[in-house]
Amino acid sequence: MSEDGHDTSYVKVWMVLVGLLIVSIVGPMFEIQAVTLVTAFGVAVVKAFLVAKYFMHLTVQPRFVVYIVCGCLAMMVVFWAGVAPDVYKWEGVNWKKEHVIQEPAGDSHSDLLGDPADRHDRPRT
């Protein structure tokens, strides 16, 4: 494989991926929400594209393989769109998230977990 010159492109792509990893680690350290979102999701999309193109060889595969991958991604988006409205709500018509205790805005992420004393599914330590 080294006689084709493919090793150098793999190393270059790997270096770009490492650089993007550093960007995605340093970005949230600025504590700016827009920068955090761009570095988290934007960099993830670019890295996924690079891995699919160079390491999974999707550009040299038959066209139906690309259609299968795109179809799987589309089904994942459809699944998320179907369950997200229920998951992100606190109450519904016939249900309520009683195990989750909401606290005033501005608190830590404890509003997602509730009071540790109220959790009956785990033994207390």
Q: What is the pLDDT of residue 123?
A: 52
DSSP-assigned letter for residue 16: H
- pLDDT at position 106 is 53
Predicted model pTM: 0.54
The tens place of each residue's pLDDT in the chain, 125 residues long, gives: 455 555 668 899 999 999 999 998 998 888 888 888 888 888 999 999 999 888 888 878 888 988 998 899 999 999 989 988 877 777 667 777 676 665 555 555 554 555 555 555 555 55
The predicted pLDDT at position 14 comes to 92
Choose among 78, 73, 100, 104: nearest CA to 89.
100
User: Which residues, including other chains, have CB under 8 Å from residue 18's CB and lie 6 or more apart?
Assistant: none
Contact 23, 39 (CB under 8 A): yes
**Predicted local distance difference test score (pLDDT) of residue 94:** 72
Closest CA to 97 of 107, 83, 110, 87: 87
Task: Give the start-to-end residue ranges of the domains of the chain.
Answer: 1-64, 80-119
